[in-house]
Amino acid sequence: MPLMRLLHRHREDIPMAMNGTNLRQNPELTTAEWQELEAIGYVRLGMILPEGEIDRLCDRIDEIMLGKIRYEGMRMQLCPSASKAEEMNGFTARHKGSSLKYRKIQELEMDPLFLKYIQHPLFRHITRKKIGEKVGVFRSMFFNKPAEGGVPLVWHQDGRSWNLSIPEEITIYTALDPQTRENGCLTVIPYSHKECPIHTVDREDDIQKYAPEEKRAYMEMDKGEVILFKTKLLHSSLVNTTNRPRRAFSIAFIHADAYQTASGERYPQVFPTYRAARKNHASVKALNA
């Protein structure tokens, strides 16, 4: 498939089931999809869960934010609009009060419902091909831009400070709400994964060099839609200007044997079976209110 055709491939080209839903039918990536990933740095996978199951994930993250379910060692950060207290805005392993304005929550593999999604058969297929049999997660993170707020994300490549012993490869991003330009959808620069290392792009001259408007692809997504992208793909997002939240779930898959070279920290394994991280994670314990 020509590269320009890859870049402009429409949602209706994604393999879907013709059964009255918009669910993806193909349990594996097609050759064209693998080519698209490698060529431009991302590929749309469509929706892989029924809307009701996406709603269950949304309900679960609400329960975690509100403190109805808690996991020891799960790191959380409030959005600045929720609290002006510096100690409350840090990204630390403690609940910071009942609020739906958490900016991000990590270690969601601790939760059985999110772990089940992380271990989806399509993700197993993808990670087996790109990583191997033993697969871990560097992070499984909830991202939230609360209504009429959120934090703008500067242009950057992931992995710039991860310092992993085995290089990172792919991230899978799921929209828990519709994602639009108005609510701060993910914005990417196609082909930028081949221009490594760019790292962070925040000066105006660098933005014009690496991320000018004409190069940007705005990843507007339906609720439940999934995008697979290369970790080094340059991306950013703006604030949410609407009256509804913009929530997403991001999984950065790595080799299960990878560790942080400076600290020695190891990460949770999710394939072929789940194994909690061997360092810096306390025992997993749900505290139901």
Tokens coding 201: 């792009």
The DSSP output letter for 261 is T
Question: What is the average pLDDT across 118-147?
Answer: 97
Check whether 89 has a pLDDT greater than 60: yes
What is the tens place of the pLDDT at every residue in 195-212? 867 777 888 898 999 999
3-state helix, strand, coil in the chain (%, to 5): 25, 25, 50
SS3 label, residue 153: strand
Check whether 10 has a pLDDT greater than 60: no
Domain-wise residue ranges, the chain: 35-70+105-271
Q: Are 36 and 57 in contact (CB under 8 A)?
A: no
What is the tens place of the pLDDT at every residue in 228-253? 999 999 999 999 999 999 999 999 99
- Name the CA radius of gyration of the chain, rounded: 18
Check whether 9 has a pLDDT greater than 60: no
Main-chain phi, psi angles of 131, to 5 degrees = -120, -45
What amino acid occupies position 137? Answer: V
The DSSP output letter for 125 is H
Indicate the helix (H) or strand (E) that contains 45: strand 42-47
SS3 label, residue 92: strand
Task: Please tell me the pTM assigned to this model.
Answer: 0.88
Main-chain phi, psi angles of 14, to 5 degrees = -75, 130
For the ranges 80-84, 148-152, 192-196, 230-234, the maximum mean pLDDT occurs at: 230-234
Check whether 128 has a pLDDT greater than 50: yes
Task: Count the Cβ atoms, other than its own, within 10 Å of residue 112.
Answer: 11
Q: Are 286 and 167 in contact (CB under 8 A)?
A: no
Check whether 87 has a pLDDT greater than 70: no
Check whether 29 has a pLDDT greater than 50: yes
Mean pLDDT computed over every residue of the chain: 88
CA 264 to chain centre: 24
What amino acid occupies position 135? Answer: V
Of the listed ranges 84-98, 115-129, 168-182, 207-221, the least confidently predicted one is 84-98
Q: Are 135 and 166 in contact (CB under 8 A)?
A: no
Between 194 and 105, whose confidence is greater?
105
User: DSSP string spanning 120-171?
Assistant: -HHHHHHHHHHT-SSEEEEEEEEEEE-TTB---EEEE-TTTTT-BSS---EE
Q: What fold characterizes domain 35-70+105-271?
A: Jelly Rolls (2.60.120)
152 CB-side CA count, 13 A: 8
pLDDT bracket for residue 120 (50, 70, 90)? very high
Which residue, among 67, 26, 71, has the nearest Cα to 44 in the 3D structure?
A: 26
Across 141-152, b (16+ Cβ under 10 Å) vs e yields: bbbbbbbebbbe
